[in-house]
Amino acid sequence: MVYPNQECNRIENVLPDLENKPGNFIFLARHGQTDMNKAKVLQGRGINADLNADGIEEAKSLGEFLQNIPFNTVSSSTLRRAVQTASKALENIGVSENLSISTYTELEELSWGVLEGKNITDEPWASMYAETVQAWEQDKSYRPPGGESIRDVADRATKVLKDIAEKGGRFNLVVSHGRALRSILAATVDISSEPPIPNTALYILSWDGSKFSLIS
Protein backbone atom coordinates (compact mmCIF):
# COMPACT_ATOMS: atom_id res chain seq x y z
CA MET A 1 0.00 0.00 0.00
CA VAL A 2 1.50 3.30 -1.13
CA TYR A 3 -1.08 5.56 0.55
CA PRO A 4 -2.04 6.52 3.25
CA ASN A 5 1.57 7.07 4.22
CA GLN A 6 2.29 8.61 7.60
CA GLU A 7 5.83 9.60 6.67
CA CYS A 8 5.36 11.11 3.19
CA ASN A 9 2.62 13.39 1.89
CA ARG A 10 3.64 13.35 -1.80
CA ILE A 11 4.05 10.39 -4.07
CA GLU A 12 7.40 11.62 -5.39
CA ASN A 13 8.78 11.18 -1.86
CA VAL A 14 7.58 7.56 -1.78
CA LEU A 15 8.43 6.56 -5.36
CA PRO A 16 10.89 9.16 -6.65
CA ASP A 17 11.79 7.21 -9.80
CA LEU A 18 8.28 6.17 -10.85
CA GLU A 19 8.33 7.98 -14.19
CA ASN A 20 11.51 6.12 -15.13
CA LYS A 21 10.00 2.69 -14.54
CA PRO A 22 8.87 0.72 -17.61
CA GLY A 23 5.26 -0.16 -18.36
CA ASN A 24 1.88 1.47 -17.88
CA PHE A 25 0.49 2.08 -14.42
CA ILE A 26 -2.85 1.60 -12.68
CA PHE A 27 -3.20 3.74 -9.54
CA LEU A 28 -5.85 1.65 -7.81
CA ALA A 29 -7.65 3.48 -4.99
CA ARG A 30 -10.52 2.80 -2.67
CA HIS A 31 -13.24 5.41 -2.23
CA GLY A 32 -13.44 7.76 0.75
CA GLN A 33 -15.52 7.25 3.85
CA THR A 34 -19.32 7.14 3.91
CA ASP A 35 -21.56 7.20 6.97
CA MET A 36 -22.20 3.49 6.37
CA ASN A 37 -18.48 2.74 6.45
CA LYS A 38 -18.30 4.54 9.78
CA ALA A 39 -21.28 2.57 11.12
CA LYS A 40 -19.84 -0.81 9.93
CA VAL A 41 -22.73 -1.36 7.49
CA LEU A 42 -21.97 -3.34 4.32
CA GLN A 43 -22.86 -1.33 1.21
CA GLY A 44 -21.91 -3.65 -1.65
CA ARG A 45 -23.38 -2.88 -5.06
CA GLY A 46 -26.92 -2.31 -3.89
CA ILE A 47 -26.46 0.66 -1.55
CA ASN A 48 -25.35 3.84 -3.27
CA ALA A 49 -24.18 6.10 -0.45
CA ASP A 50 -22.48 9.49 -0.79
CA LEU A 51 -19.19 10.43 0.82
CA ASN A 52 -19.49 12.03 4.22
CA ALA A 53 -17.49 15.12 5.22
CA ASP A 54 -14.50 13.03 6.28
CA GLY A 55 -14.65 11.09 3.01
CA ILE A 56 -14.55 14.29 0.98
CA GLU A 57 -11.46 15.43 2.87
CA GLU A 58 -9.86 12.00 2.37
CA ALA A 59 -10.45 12.26 -1.37
CA LYS A 60 -8.92 15.73 -1.47
CA SER A 61 -5.89 14.47 0.45
CA LEU A 62 -5.48 11.59 -1.99
CA GLY A 63 -5.43 14.11 -4.83
CA GLU A 64 -2.82 16.19 -3.02
CA PHE A 65 -0.68 13.07 -2.54
CA LEU A 66 -0.88 12.45 -6.30
CA GLN A 67 -0.21 16.07 -7.31
CA ASN A 68 1.52 16.53 -10.64
CA ILE A 69 1.22 12.91 -11.80
CA PRO A 70 0.35 13.41 -15.50
CA PHE A 71 -2.66 11.12 -15.56
CA ASN A 72 -3.88 10.02 -18.97
CA THR A 73 -7.17 8.60 -17.70
CA VAL A 74 -9.36 8.65 -14.60
CA SER A 75 -11.86 5.83 -14.14
CA SER A 76 -14.31 4.84 -11.44
CA SER A 77 -17.03 2.48 -10.42
CA THR A 78 -20.48 3.88 -11.23
CA LEU A 79 -21.36 4.09 -7.52
CA ARG A 80 -21.49 7.61 -6.11
CA ARG A 81 -18.92 7.14 -3.37
CA ALA A 82 -16.33 6.12 -5.97
CA VAL A 83 -17.25 8.80 -8.52
CA GLN A 84 -17.17 11.50 -5.84
CA THR A 85 -13.76 10.30 -4.66
CA ALA A 86 -12.38 10.37 -8.19
CA SER A 87 -13.82 13.85 -8.75
CA LYS A 88 -12.46 15.38 -5.52
CA ALA A 89 -9.07 13.74 -6.04
CA LEU A 90 -8.90 14.99 -9.61
CA GLU A 91 -9.64 18.55 -8.49
CA ASN A 92 -6.56 18.43 -6.27
CA ILE A 93 -4.10 16.62 -8.52
CA GLY A 94 -3.30 19.81 -10.38
CA VAL A 95 -2.22 18.77 -13.88
CA SER A 96 -5.26 16.83 -15.05
CA GLU A 97 -8.13 19.29 -14.62
CA ASN A 98 -9.47 18.70 -18.13
CA LEU A 99 -9.81 14.94 -17.78
CA SER A 100 -13.28 13.45 -17.55
CA ILE A 101 -14.11 10.44 -15.38
CA SER A 102 -15.05 7.23 -17.17
CA THR A 103 -17.36 4.98 -15.15
CA TYR A 104 -17.65 1.19 -15.31
CA THR A 105 -20.15 -1.16 -13.72
CA GLU A 106 -17.40 -3.77 -13.73
CA LEU A 107 -15.50 -1.75 -11.11
CA GLU A 108 -18.41 -1.76 -8.67
CA GLU A 109 -18.16 -3.35 -5.25
CA LEU A 110 -18.86 -7.02 -4.67
CA SER A 111 -22.53 -7.76 -4.14
CA TRP A 112 -22.94 -9.04 -0.60
CA GLY A 113 -26.49 -10.29 -1.23
CA VAL A 114 -28.49 -10.64 1.98
CA LEU A 115 -25.67 -8.96 3.92
CA GLU A 116 -26.05 -5.61 2.16
CA GLY A 117 -27.37 -2.92 4.46
CA LYS A 118 -26.56 -5.01 7.53
CA ASN A 119 -24.35 -3.93 10.42
CA ILE A 120 -21.56 -6.50 10.64
CA THR A 121 -21.06 -5.90 14.36
CA ASP A 122 -24.59 -7.24 15.02
CA GLU A 123 -25.69 -10.87 14.99
CA PRO A 124 -26.50 -12.90 12.99
CA TRP A 125 -24.77 -10.73 10.37
CA ALA A 126 -21.39 -10.65 12.12
CA SER A 127 -21.15 -14.44 12.05
CA MET A 128 -22.41 -14.66 8.47
CA TYR A 129 -19.83 -12.07 7.36
CA ALA A 130 -16.98 -13.87 9.12
CA GLU A 131 -18.07 -17.21 7.66
CA THR A 132 -18.20 -15.72 4.17
CA VAL A 133 -14.69 -14.27 4.36
CA GLN A 134 -13.40 -17.54 5.82
CA ALA A 135 -15.09 -19.53 3.03
CA TRP A 136 -13.22 -17.48 0.41
CA GLU A 137 -9.91 -18.70 1.83
CA GLN A 138 -10.83 -22.18 0.58
CA ASP A 139 -13.10 -21.41 -2.36
CA LYS A 140 -12.92 -18.15 -4.30
CA SER A 141 -16.13 -19.14 -6.11
CA TYR A 142 -18.20 -19.18 -2.92
CA ARG A 143 -21.17 -16.80 -3.09
CA PRO A 144 -23.00 -15.49 -0.02
CA PRO A 145 -26.79 -15.89 -0.39
CA GLY A 146 -27.92 -13.60 -3.21
CA GLY A 147 -24.40 -12.23 -3.74
CA GLU A 148 -21.21 -12.57 -5.74
CA SER A 149 -17.99 -14.46 -5.24
CA ILE A 150 -14.59 -12.79 -5.15
CA ARG A 151 -13.83 -14.64 -8.39
CA ASP A 152 -16.87 -13.01 -10.02
CA VAL A 153 -15.60 -9.59 -9.01
CA ALA A 154 -12.01 -10.28 -10.05
CA ASP A 155 -13.10 -11.54 -13.46
CA ARG A 156 -15.22 -8.50 -14.30
CA ALA A 157 -12.84 -5.91 -12.83
CA THR A 158 -9.54 -7.21 -14.18
CA LYS A 159 -10.85 -7.25 -17.74
CA VAL A 160 -11.49 -3.51 -17.46
CA LEU A 161 -8.14 -2.85 -15.79
CA LYS A 162 -6.27 -4.66 -18.55
CA ASP A 163 -8.14 -2.65 -21.18
CA ILE A 164 -7.33 0.63 -19.40
CA ALA A 165 -3.69 -0.37 -18.98
CA GLU A 166 -3.33 -1.29 -22.64
CA LYS A 167 -5.21 1.64 -24.17
CA GLY A 168 -5.30 4.41 -21.60
CA GLY A 169 -1.70 5.58 -21.54
CA ARG A 170 1.05 5.41 -18.92
CA PHE A 171 -0.73 6.84 -15.88
CA ASN A 172 -4.26 5.76 -15.02
CA LEU A 173 -6.20 6.48 -11.83
CA VAL A 174 -8.93 3.96 -10.98
CA VAL A 175 -11.27 4.30 -7.99
CA SER A 176 -13.12 1.24 -6.78
CA HIS A 177 -14.07 -0.45 -3.49
CA GLY A 178 -12.55 -2.38 -0.60
CA ARG A 179 -13.62 -5.94 -1.37
CA ALA A 180 -13.23 -5.30 -5.11
CA LEU A 181 -9.63 -4.17 -4.53
CA ARG A 182 -8.89 -7.27 -2.44
CA SER A 183 -10.32 -9.44 -5.22
CA ILE A 184 -8.27 -7.64 -7.88
CA LEU A 185 -5.03 -7.86 -5.90
CA ALA A 186 -5.53 -11.56 -5.23
CA ALA A 187 -6.15 -12.25 -8.92
CA THR A 188 -3.43 -10.05 -10.42
CA VAL A 189 -0.49 -10.00 -8.02
CA ASP A 190 -1.32 -12.94 -5.73
CA ILE A 191 -2.04 -11.01 -2.55
CA SER A 192 -4.44 -13.63 -1.26
CA SER A 193 -4.61 -12.62 2.40
CA GLU A 194 -6.65 -9.71 3.74
CA PRO A 195 -4.43 -6.72 2.87
CA PRO A 196 -5.10 -3.43 4.66
CA ILE A 197 -7.43 -1.27 2.56
CA PRO A 198 -8.61 1.75 4.55
CA ASN A 199 -10.64 4.44 2.83
CA THR A 200 -8.64 6.03 -0.03
CA ALA A 201 -5.98 3.31 0.22
CA LEU A 202 -3.78 3.32 -2.89
CA TYR A 203 -1.98 0.46 -4.59
CA ILE A 204 -0.01 0.87 -7.82
CA LEU A 205 0.11 -1.85 -10.46
CA SER A 206 2.40 -1.85 -13.48
CA TRP A 207 1.36 -3.54 -16.74
CA ASP A 208 4.04 -4.94 -19.05
CA GLY A 209 1.69 -6.02 -21.83
CA SER A 210 0.98 -9.48 -20.43
CA LYS A 211 0.74 -9.25 -16.62
CA PHE A 212 0.44 -6.90 -13.68
CA SER A 213 3.10 -6.37 -11.00
CA LEU A 214 2.79 -4.56 -7.69
CA ILE A 215 4.83 -1.36 -7.30
CA SER A 216 5.91 -0.65 -3.73
Residue 14 has pLDDT above 90, yes or no: no
Nearest to 207 by CA among 175, 180, 181, 170: 170
State the pTM of this model: 0.94
Beta bridge partners of 24: 207
Burial category of 7 from C-beta neighbours within 10 Å (exposed 0-12, middle 13-18, buried 19 and up): exposed
- The domain defined by 21-215 carries CATH number 3.50.50.60: no
| Helix axis angle, 178-189 to 150-167, nearest 10° | 70
> pLDDT-based confidence at 147, cuts 50/70/90?
very high
**Other C-beta atoms lying within 10 Å of the C-beta of residue 209:** 10
pLDDT per residue over 66-120, tens digit each?
Answer: 998 999 999 999 999 999 999 999 999 986 557 899 999 999 999 999 999 999 9
β 171-176/101-104 pair status: unpaired
Active-site residue list: 31, 109
Domain residues of the chain, as ranges? 21-215
Residue 131 has pLDDT above 70, yes or no: yes
